[in-house]
Structure 1
């Protein structure tokens, strides 16, 4: 069951990373177009709106894959001094804490999106509905939170750290 859950979670992580990659491409295109346009005295109208909204997708889109591959910053100055069981306990605790934090982010942003729909909040210049980006952020944050919780379960129950075995890039 956990292997099936891991398979589906890896697909969701891959989807999140794909969304982040598309956001990066859009971000680069918007910034390049705006910079060239400014040099030609014709900046891209609404570039601030696009850059701000897409940056959210870019940053949070990469969080799940970063956790999956063990890419988060860690301070391991004392790790060699501690016994293995203590390091594993710290890993489980941080995965649980990260999962809870990201699920709270997802919940808070989802509530904010409902408010944005109710108040019809839009971006400043392009008048894009802000709720679209908030829903995407809530979904991506939920993916990350669930992936971190699954990693905590795998660490606690199966004593397997998915980050160590994440040399494959076929997510």
Structure 2
């Protein structure tokens, strides 16, 4: 059961990272074309809107992968002096706290998206509905929260930290 959940989670994390990567490529192309266009007096209309909204995909699309690979900042000054069990408990609590934080982000952004729909909010120039990007951010935050929660469950049940590729 845990292995199946990990496969699904890894698939969602890979999909999320792929969307983030495509957002980054798209953003770089838009910036490059806009800079070249500005040099010739013809910048891309709405490039700021596109860049701002694609940044949502870049940052939050990669967040789950960052956690999966252990890329988040960790202060381990006392890790060597703590017993292994205490380090494991700290890792579990950190994963659970991260999951709660990302669920809170998803909830807050989802509520914001509802307001955006109600008020018909859109980007400044292109009039792209902000709710589209807010809903995407909310999904990415939920994927990150699910990955962190699964990591906590794996640490509790098996002692295996997926970020380190080790088994207890």
Note the alpha carbon deviations across 1:77-136, whole angstroms, 9 max, x for none.
Answer: 221111111111111111000001001111111111111111111100000011110111
Residue matched to 1:163? 163
Residue matched to 1:96? 96
Alpha-carbon RMSD across the aligned residues, in angstroms, is: 1.0
Residue matched to 1:146? 146
Q: Give ranges in structure 1 of 5+ residues lacking alignment.
A: 167-171
Residue matched to 2:60? 60
Residue matched to 2:43? 43
Q: Give ranges in structure 2 of 5+ residues lacking alignment.
A: none
User: Which runs of 4 or more aligned residues in structure 1 lie more than 3 Å from their structure 2 counterparts after TM superposition?
Assistant: none
Residue matched to 1:74? 74
TM superposition score normalised by structure 1? 0.94
TM superposition score normalised by structure 2? 0.96
1:116 corresponds to 2:116: yes
1:138 Cα deviation after fit: 0.5
Q: How many angstroms apart in 1 are the aligned matches of 2:22 and 2:4? A: 27
1:74 Cα deviation after fit: 1.4
Residue matched to 1:31? 31
1:70 Cα deviation after fit: 0.8
Q: How many angstroms apart in 2 are the aligned matches of 1:63 and 1:114? A: 23
Q: How many angstroms apart in 2 are the aligned matches of 1:31 and 1:84? A: 48
1:20 corresponds to 2:20: yes
